[in-house]
Chain A
């Protein structure tokens, strides 16, 4: 009796996995920076002091 073929195990490379996690976190922080830039622009444009 033969056993059905098992799917190959997912590649398990801690270094690559860590590097991918680090890139994901840095990307999340970059997105935060972009948001942080947009909101003050709107606030400054709407509520900022009138410029000479």
Chain B
């Protein structure tokens, strides 16, 4: 058995044995107690109903096999912790680096071991007494020990296929409710069946006070026929094997459907979040990026302080679009106005460490990276995807609408190249501003850090406004688009370099 498989199986067995007793604080294992109790019940039934004459074994064997099968089925159903355990299990194995084949093997090995462990305790007494019941056939003991776990496994398979199906179509709560109802039916049906049939153990199926078709449809009866007379029970052996394979296939298919549904539900649909994925890749950098991006939109303090800053440039954009006839002057104004998001980036970065929640630092206290490099890169990606891209996308759509309305090719070039240029320039400015980020984003509480390092803001404003104005002159030509594309490529390359610099935190050699 491979290491991973063994670890997984032993972890599940640990939960089987000790989860309940440790939750309630009791010593020992609840599973061992259950196995002891059920084994005792199996011994009593096997001893009390041992037939007085050899050869009339089918009824006796059916009763014993029914007991062990029902006990295993009842143990599976109606356990309120089971649904939670399945959910936790799903998270455990989905985050583990396991190939699906190993996982399926581990599930099969654990299921087989668990069922065999629980059933064997109940199967040993009737299996040994089957030697006397089957006229001194020592192989009957072995056959009994072999088929008892199989028929119990069929019961477990049928019940779990049924509850999984209900889980899939009606949800986990209804599946759990139905599990409780099924448990009641098994208990009641089992008790009634034993009460009616036990006095008639030595008789044939036709003599029983229940319809013979219901006995023929009961898999423990098939197993009893296999144990008692294997030469004339090939049909029953085929039916039992086919049933086991069918349930295995159905269980696997339902499991796959459920996992596909879970995966589908977890897929990111937000296009901005997809952009984060694309820019940040995987691992801690993506985690920090998603945190910063979410907080950019959700932090009330950040919205209160930062959003008003965008009011003025938005008004200027609207004003510049108002007068459609102004030509070059309008292009110049637009070129300068579209640099306002980049001009305000120092404010955004200055407010970035602030949080509305005291002691929010704990979010990153256990993070693998404690140096600021990945936080700067993540903030750069989040500001790009959640501030610069949406603003310039809206600007581009508005300019495109105007270009289509005026049916002019230069206007079309302008509508595409100016926002692209502004985006690229904004990313470079954001990277520059983030070098002054001195705390993890959204973690610093209180108002003790009121002073912001905004030195050089005037210089940045003038340089950016000049750059925007100058670019607006060439933006109406294809060369402008080429320049804008080059700038955006450089900006993306800078993000990629930052990402590669932040990557070592995902490696095993990182310092804690």
Query: Which residue numbers of A lie inside 8 Å of B, CB to CB?
Result: 18-19, 21-22, 25, 28-29, 32-33, 36-37, 39-41, 43-44, 47-52
Contact = CB atoms under 8 A, between A and B. Distances in A.
A51 to B, nearest CB: 4
B470 interface: no
Given A21-B18, A49-B52, A51-B136, A40 B121 contact: no
Contacts of A36: 39, 42-43, 121, 124-125
B125 A32 contact: no
Contact count band on B: 20 to 34
Contacts of A37: 124, 128
A29 B118 CA distance: 9
Most chain A beta carbons < 10 A, residue from B10, B51, B125, B126: B125
B29 A25 contact: yes
Interface stretch (B30-38, B230-238, B292-300, B460-468): B30-38
Contact of A40 (B28, B32, B53, B129): B129
B14 A18 contact: yes
Interface of B: 10, 13-14, 17-18, 28-29, 31-32, 35-36, 39, 42-43, 46-47, 50-54, 117, 120-121, 124-126, 128-129, 131-133, 135-136
19 contacts: A19-B10, A29-B32, A29-B121, A32-B35, A32-B39, A33-B120, A33-B124, A36-B42, A37-B124, A39-B43, A40-B129, A43-B129, A44-B50, A44-B128, A48-B132, A49-B132, A49-B133, A51-B132, A51-B136
Contacts of A51: 54, 132, 135-136
A25 B29 CA distance: 7
Contacts of A43: 47, 50, 129
Contact of B117 (A21, A29, A40, A41): A29
A34 to B, nearest CB: 9
A28 B28 CA distance: 11
From DSSP, what is the main secondary structure of chain B's interface residues? helix
A17 B135 CA distance: 48
A25 B32 contact: yes
Nearest to B117: A29
A48 B49 CA distance: 11
A48 B129 contact: yes
Given A33-B120, A49-B51, A39 B125 contact: yes
Contact of B36 (A32, A47, A49): A32
B122 to A, nearest CB: 9
Nearest to A49: B54
B124 A40 contact: yes
B274 to A, nearest CB: 40
Q: Which 10 A-B pairs have the closest CB atoms?
A: A48-B132, A40-B128, A51-B136, A36-B124, A40-B125, A49-B54, A44-B132, A25-B29, A25-B32, A40-B129
